[in-house]
Amino acid sequence: MNLPLSSFAPLLAAGLMAATAWPAGAQENIDCGYPLNNNERTYCADKALKDAEAAMAAAYVTLHARVVALDDALPDHLKGSPAALEGAQTAWADYADKDCKAYAFPFMGGTRGQELYRNCKIVLTMKRTDDLTATLEDYGD
């Protein structure tokens, strides 16, 4: 499978940020159902974003494999689904980043800006995962 690294750059960056934000032992004691302070809320939001991005990456990989299989069965003049999906995912990542920056921009001077940005990314990433999954279902088996 030939997946562009650019599709996963936002996932890797978020994973690194979340992995380095808290010492390993401190993470075990945080109840994300009831975070007590701003640091815990930040940790839980980072974790939610990381989980959403992992689910989206899994949906993307599954859909990509499916369009590669479909593409192989098509005549040459109809081939191109994998490249189209790769381009769409790259465009989506750029859109999501810019849209969430615009949404959070008025508050970027404080912690609220990062919270709004992260929450926006969580929502858009979950929506993108739903869209990728729905597309896969449209293609059937």
CA distance 43 to 106: 23
pLDDT digits (tens, 9 = 90+) for 56-111: 999 999 999 999 999 999 999 999 999 999 999 999 999 999 999 999 999 998 87
Asked, for residue 54, whether it belongs to a domain, the answer is: yes
pTM of the predicted model, to two decimals?
Answer: 0.77
35: pLDDT confidence band, cut at 50, 70 and 90?
confident
Asked, for residue 75, whether it belongs to a domain, the answer is: yes
Given a cut of 70, whether residue 4 has pLDDT beyond it is no
Asked, for residue 44, whether it belongs to a domain, the answer is: yes
Asked, for residue 86, whether it belongs to a domain, the answer is: yes
Q: Distances from the Cα of 36 to the Cαs of 31, 42, 73, 92, 133, in angstroms? A: 8, 11, 54, 34, 34
- Cβ proximity of 53 and 74 under 8 Å: no
Asked, for residue 17, whether it belongs to a domain, the answer is: no
Asked, for residue 25, whether it belongs to a domain, the answer is: no
Full domain range(s) for residue 65: 5-11+35-139
34: pLDDT confidence band, cut at 50, 70 and 90?
confident
pLDDT of residue 20: 44
| pLDDT, mean of residues 10-34 | 56
Number of domains in the chain: 1
Tell me, what CATH number does 100's domain have?
1.20.1270.180
